[in-house]
Amino acid sequence: MHNIKVLPKSFFLNGDVTAISQRLLGKILVTNIDNQITIGRIVETEAYHGSKDKACHAYLHRNTKRTSVMFKDGGRSYVYLCYGIHSLFNIITHGEGQPNAVLIRALEPLEGIDIMKERRSIALARNLCNGPGKLAQAMGIDKVVNDIVLYENSSPVWIGESNSDLKFDIVTTTRIGVDYAEEDALLPWRFYIKNNTYISRK
DNA sequence: CGAGCGATTCGC
DNA sequence: CGAATCGCTCGG
């Protein structure tokens, strides 16, 4: 079937959250949910830094029912419901007590595309995973897979090495939809693969 | 308790 | 451009 090597836990612990956000570009997201496998290539990410970032749910180390998972060791999932409708998928980074996370904003669909189309009730592959809410729906991700480890390929959600040696340039911009963060909305913490077709927005 | 709101998406 | 839709957060 597929022969994807899972990323080790150390991948999620070393470097700051913006560096890890960039390293995640090109990596592979795999889900095995409801007995169905779907796979996509990460093409867009955003960094959230708990201690000093007004856009982060854990700003100033705010530890609440929702954000408590962010304070665990890196390499776990943080999935939350946005606008009461959309699940958003994040990857926790850094050691215990440092609530940093990477939001996965877009994927290039690779396998299980028919399953994604069925889950999203649309036919156009380009629109299956080009947004954080869309990709969660296409991959079957919701709060059920909140707070699980991503560095074991027995997990229902895990991250694998890139399946391609292709080089790419990284575009850096401000983050989407965080105007409430005032001056921190201007931080250049959104990253995507240049010229990729599956980005959420230009 | 309950008002206010959102790391979005889709359709009009 | 506005509605959808619900759980979290915080203040009273």
pLDDT, tens digit, for every residue of A185-197?
999 999 999 999 9
pLDDT classification of A8: cutoffs 50, 70, 90: very high
**DSSP β-bridge partners for residue A77:** A91
HSE, side-chain direction, 13 A CA sphere, residue A155: 22
A200 touches strand B (CB under 7 A): yes
pTM, two decimal places: 0.97
A123 touches strand B (CB under 7 A): no
Distance CA A160, CA A142 (A): 20
The radius of gyration of chain A from alpha carbons, rounded to an integer in Å, stands at: 16
A61 touches strand B (CB under 7 A): no
pLDDT classification of A1: cutoffs 50, 70, 90: low
pLDDT classification of A202: cutoffs 50, 70, 90: confident
A107 touches strand B (CB under 7 A): no
Res. A97: pLDDT tops 60? yes
